[in-house]
């Protein structure tokens, strides 16, 4: 399931985005 792998790769990118928003 490539969709699952794409989510895993996008996870760190979203985390950085939320981290920047929270800061």
What is the rounded average pLDDT of the residues 2-6? 71
Greater pLDDT, 6 or 12 = 12
Question: What percent of the chain has pLDDT above 70?
Answer: 78
This model's pTM is above 0.85: no
Write the DSSP assignment of 1-23 as a string of letters: -HHHHHHHHHHHHHHHHHHHHH-
Is the pLDDT score of 7 beyond 70? Answer: no
Tokens matching residue 20: 């920047």
CA 5 to chain centre: 11
Q: Per-residue pLDDT averaged across 7-21, rounded?
A: 83
pLDDT, mean of residues 15-23: 87
């Amino acid at each position: 399931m490539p969709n699952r792998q794409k989510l895993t790769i996008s996870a760190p990118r979203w985390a950085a985005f939320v981290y920047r928003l929270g800061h």
